[in-house]
Amino acid sequence: RQVPPAESAEIFKNALDKAGNRNYVLQFIEGADHSIYNNTDDGFVSLKTLYPGYAEAMTSWLFHVINGQPPVAQTVGQTPLQMSNSLTDLTT
């Protein structure tokens, strides 16, 4: 509800690729909100606990980078459905 996921992921991907960064993972974690915290059923009130899978995703990425095996650019997980699209082109 806070950020259009497909659009924002595409903007991040394009910016990283344009900068020559080939060691990223854009990961969608099903059910998580924008802040990656658990939330109430309405999706607006974040609780202070991390959503399951987030800490594991971050530590896995860090582990590989620290050990000289940075991941090759990729997007992981199913892109969530957007509730709406941006009204303006944010890529310019």
Residue pLDDT, tens place only, 14-70:
999 999 999 999 998 887 777 788 877 766 777 788 889 889 999 999 999 999 999
Distance between CA atoms of residues 92 and 63, nearest Å: 34
The per-residue pLDDT for 74 is: 92
- Higher confidence at residue 66 or residue 2? 66
- Higher confidence at residue 86 or residue 60? 60
Its pTM stands at 0.72
H or E element, residue 76: strand 74-76
